[in-house]
Structure 1
Amino acid sequence: MTSASAALARDVVCPEHPTFKPVGTCSRCGRFICARCETWGDRCAACEYRQLRELPSLRTRGSLAMGALGLAAIGLLLGAMLDGWLINRLQGGWVPRDAAATYQRLWELLRVPLLAVLGLSALFFLRWLHLAVRTARVLGLDPGTTPGWAVAWWFIPLAHLFDPYLVVRGLCRSLGGHRSAKAAVTAWWTAWVLGGIAWIVEQYLLWTRDSEPLLLTSALLAGFTAQVMLTLGALLCMSVIALIQALTDECLDDVAEAS
C-alpha cells in the first residue's frame, strides 16, 4: 500500500491544509502533502519555504544588476552623444584635425569606465539570471532550462543570438507572466540584437575605410545607432529584471502564506 493510500485508509489529512486529503509525502521531512502542496513539487509548504530562505537574495542581485545596467546606459548614451557631435563636424566625409583630436581625447576618457561598467553589468546580470532560474525551479516551476545552461547559452556561438532570449522568456512564462511581460522581453532582446549588429557594421566600416574615406560617415552613424540601441536595451533589461522580480515575489508570498 502506498503512503497516500495508507493515509486515506487512516482518514488522515494534510497538516498544512486540513480540508484536503493527502496524495503523497514530503520528500524532505516525510509529512503528508495534499494536491495543493504539490504546487511546489514533492515538498510540503514548510520545507519549500525553508529551502527558499536558504537561497541568496534575488532582490539584492537584481538591484546590483540594475544599478550596473543603469551606469552602462549612461556611458553608452554619452558615447552616442560623442559620435553625434563628431558627425555634425564632418566636412565632405573628412574629420577636421581639431575635432578629431577632441573626439579622441574624450573617447579615451570614456572608454575605460564604459568597458568596466559593461563588464560589471554582464557579470551581475548573469549572476541574477542564474539565481532567478534556480529560484523558479525550487518553487516547483519549469523555466525550461537549468541555472547552469541559463548562463552557458550566452557563451555558445550562434546559440547566444537566440537561446538566452528563450531562457528569459521561459522564466517569465513559468512565473505567470502575461502577454505584456513577454512583449517586454521581446523588446529588450530586439534592441540588444540590433545594437550588436550595428556595432559589427561599425567595426567593419572602420576597418575598410582606408580604401574609401567617405565610409567614415557611415561608420560613425552605425556606431551612433549601436550605442542608442544598446542604451535602450540596457533600460529594457532593467525593466525585465524588475518584472521578473515582481512575479517571483508573488510566488514567494504564496509559499510564505501557505507555510
Structure 2
Amino acid sequence: MPSARRWAVVATGAIILHAVTEMALLAVRFWLYPFLQGLDMARVDAMVAYGTAIGTLRALMIAATILSVVGFLTWQYHVFRLANSLDVSQASPRWAILGWFIPGMNLFKPYQMMRDLWSDLGGEASRARLIRAWWLMGLVTFAVGTGYQLMRSLNEIVHIRTFTLAATNIVHTTLLALATALCIGVVWRIQRQLVQLKAEARHTGI
C-alpha cells in the first residue's frame, strides 16, 4: 500500500476512534452511574466501575488523539511530497507540517495549503467548500471544547449549573462528530484526486 494511502487509513481510523471515544465518554458521564444504581449495585462498587470506565476511555482518547495527529500530519507530508514529485504543486511538505504549530499562522495556514493543494490537483472548485466547511467546523469545535474545559476548571471556584456544563459537553461532542466526518471527506477526496492524477501521469509516461 503506498505511503500516502497507508497513512490516510491510519489517520482516518484514529480520528474515528477519537470521536467514538469522546461520545462514549459523554455517555458514561451522564448515564453509567445512574444505570448501575438502577441495577441495585452498591454505591462503592458503582463508583469504582464508573471511575474505571472514565479512566479507560480517557487513556484510549489520549492514545487516539496522538495517533490521529501523527497519522494526519504524516499523510499530509506524503501527499505534498507526492504532489511535488508530480510537478503539480510547489508547496513545501515541511511547511504543511510546521503551519500547524506556529501560533497565529495555525489559524489559517493549514487551511490555505489544503485548499491550494486541492486546486493544484485539479479538483473541482465547487468541492473546495468541503475543505472550508471542515476548517470552520474544526475551529468552532476547538473553541467550544476549550470553553468547556475552562468551565470545568472554573466550576471548582464559581459554581456553574450542571445543565450548562452538560449542554456544552453535548454541543462539543456533536460538533466533534461533524468535524470528524468532514475531515474524513477531505482526506479521502484529496487522496482519490491524487491517485487519479498519479495514474494519468503514468499513462502519459510523465
The yes-or-no answer on 1:121 pairing with 2:64 is no
Q: Which of 144, 152, 169 is the matching residue for 1:223? A: 169
Aligned ranges 1:59-138 → 2 under 5 Å: 59-83=5-29, 85=31, 101=47, 104-138=51-85
Q: How many residues end up aligned between the 2 structures?
A: 194
Asked which structure has the greater CA Rg, the reply is: 1
The 8 Å contact of residues 83 and 224 in structure 1, kept in 2 or not, is answered as no
* CA spacing shift, 1:113–1:178, aligned 2, 3 Å: same
Question: Which of the pair is proportionally richer in helix?
Answer: 2
* Residue in structure 1 matched with residue 193 of structure 2 by the alignment: 247
The 8 Å contact of residues 119 and 125 in structure 2, kept in 1 or not, is answered as no
Question: What is the CA-CA distance between 1:70 and the residue it aligns to?
Answer: 2.0
The 8 Å contact of residues 7 and 71 in structure 2, kept in 1 or not, is answered as yes
The yes-or-no answer on 1:184 pairing with 2:130 is yes
Question: What is the CA-CA distance between 1:103 and the residue it aligns to?
Answer: 5.1
Equivalent-residue separation in structure 1 for 2:79 and 2:179 (angstroms): 20
Q: Which of 193, 201, 210 is the matching residue for 2:156? A: 210
Give the secondary structure class of the aligned counterpart of 1:154.
coil
Gaps of 5+ in 2: 36-42
Give the secondary structure class of the aligned counterpart of 1:176.
coil
Q: What is the TM-score when the length of structure 1 is the normalising length?
A: 0.67
Aligned letter for 1:72? H
Query: Which has the higher mean CA deviation after the structures are superposed, 134-143 or 117-126?
Result: 134-143
Equivalent-residue separation in structure 1 for 2:132 and 2:30 (angstroms): 28
The 8 Å contact of residues 130 and 148 in structure 1, kept in 2 or not, is answered as yes
The 8 Å contact of residues 175 and 251 in structure 1, kept in 2 or not, is answered as yes
